[in-house]
Amino acid sequence: MLKQFVVFPLEDELYGVDIHQVMRIEKMLSLTRVPNAPPFVIGVCNLRGSVIPVIDLKQRLALPSNLDENAKIIFVNVGKQVVGMTIDSAVDVTSIDSDEIEPSPSLVTGIDSQFIQGVAKVSNRLLIILDMERVLTVDQLNVLADMD
């Protein structure tokens, strides 16, 4: 069965998010800082009348963060929660046969494996498919540690 993914590069790797979870992709919007929140929560923005929190995906994945003017925000909808995530740049949509997705990443990747739903080869590059629910679930203990 073919599944579609929104694919974007972060650092040296390609990452993918299930297209059903992606609401929209916007150019960088003006953000309002949220004081006392952990660093990966970079602010809130006004998305057509709704206030949506935005996280720095690279920081969330513990990758070095460097947002520039090419950055975009990808708004994902998990459950009933809508969150914006900053990504570096160009975005593509790719279809992958679900058989080609390896469930558990045996390969070494740059990020914590709990965020990874699976990996697949796309034109000789490794695509890391993100488990959005995990990415957006914030462990209370971690948060408190971050805040102190």
Binding site for other proteins (CB under 8 A): 30-38, 41, 44-46, 49-53, 80-83, 136, 138, 140, 143
Residue whose CB is less far from other proteins, 29 or 91:
29
Residue whose CB is less far from other proteins, 22 or 41:
41
CB of 74 to other proteins, least distance (A): 14
CB of 142 to other proteins, least distance (A): 11
CB of 49 to other proteins, least distance (A): 5
CB of 83 to other proteins, least distance (A): 5
Residue whose CB is less far from other proteins, 12 or 35:
35
6 burial type by CB count under 10 A (0-12 exposed, 13-18 middle, 19+ buried): buried
Helix (H/G/I), strand (E/B), else coil: 17: strand
Q: Which amino acid is at 92?
A: D
- Closest by CA position to 1, among listed 100, 119, 104: 100
Strand order across the 92-97 sheet: 92-97, 2-10, 13-18, 125-130, 116-122
